[in-house]
Structure 1
Amino acid sequence: MALDLRVSLDKGSLQAQLAKLSHGEIRTATAYALNMLAANGKRAVVDQMKEVFDHPNPFTLNGFFVRLATADTLSAWVASKDYAPNGTPAIRYLGPQIHGGQRDMKRSEKALAALSGGQYWVPGPGAPLDQYGNLRPGEMTRILSRLGLMHDAASNLTDRTARRLAKQGKAAKGQRSEYFVARERGNGRPKGIYKLVGPGKVTAILLFTPRAPTYRVRLPVDQIVQQAFMARQDRVVAAALRRVLKNRLGG
Structure 2
Amino acid sequence: MMNQAEVLRQIRGLTGPQAAKAYAKALNDTGFEVRRAMQDEMRAVFDRPTDYILRSPFVRMATAAKLSVTIEPTYMGGKGIDPQKILDAQTWGGRRRDKRSEVALKRVGILPAGYQTAIPDEARGGPYPGSDDGKGNLRGPFLVQLISYFQAFGEQGYKANMSEKGYQRVHRGTKKQAGRRYFVAYGGERDAPRTTRKGEPDARAAHLARGIWAVSGTGGVLVRPVLLFVKPKRGYQPRFDMDKVAKRADAQAYLERRIRYRLREAAGV
Deviation at 1:213, TM superposition (A): 6.2
Q: Counterparts in 2 of 1:84-233, with a 5 A limit?
A: 84-113=77-106, 114-118=109-113, 119-124=115-120, 125=124, 126-127=127-128, 128-151=131-154, 152-162=157-167, 165=169, 170=172, 178-189=181-192, 191-198=210-217, 199-211=220-232, 214-220=235-241, 222-228=242-248, 231-233=250-252
Taking structure 1 as the reference length, the TM-score comes to 0.76
Distance 2:248 2:17 in 1: 27
Q: Is the 8 A contact 1:29 1:241 kept in 2?
A: no
| Cα distance, 1:165 vs structure 2 | 4.2
Query: Cα offset for 1:148?
Result: 1.0
Superposed CA RMSD in Å reads 2.9
CA distance in 1 between partners of 2:248 and 2:18 (Å): 25
More strand by share: 1
- Structure 1 unaligned residues grouped into runs of 5+: 1-17
Tell me the alpha carbon deviations over residues 152-178 of structure 1, each in whole angstroms, 9 at most, x when there is no partner. Answer: 22222223445x649xx939xxx7x81
| 1:67 and 2:60 aligned | yes
* Percent sequence identity over aligned pairs: 27
Q: Could you tell me which amino acid in structure 2 is paired with residue 155 of structure 1? A: A
Matched pairs, number: 225
Distance 1:47 1:215 in 2: 20
| Cα offset, 1:25, TM superposition | 3.7
**Partner Cα distance (1:189, 1:93) in 2:** 32
**Kept after mapping to 1: 8 A contact 2:29/2:258:** no
Give the structure 2 partner of residue 78 of structure 1: 71
User: How far apart, in 1, do the equivalents of 2:61 and 2:34 lie?
Assistant: 13
TM-score by structure 2 length? 0.72
Structure 2 vs 1, CA of residues 20 and 112 (structure 1 numbering), >3 Å: closer, same or farther?
A: same
Cα 1:37–1:188 shift into 2, 3 Å = farther
Distance 1:33 1:165 in 2: 58
CA distance in 2, matches of 1:36, 1:101: 33
SS of the counterpart of 1:115? coil
Name stretches of at least 5 consecutive residues in structure 2 with no aligned partner. 1-10, 174-178, 194-209
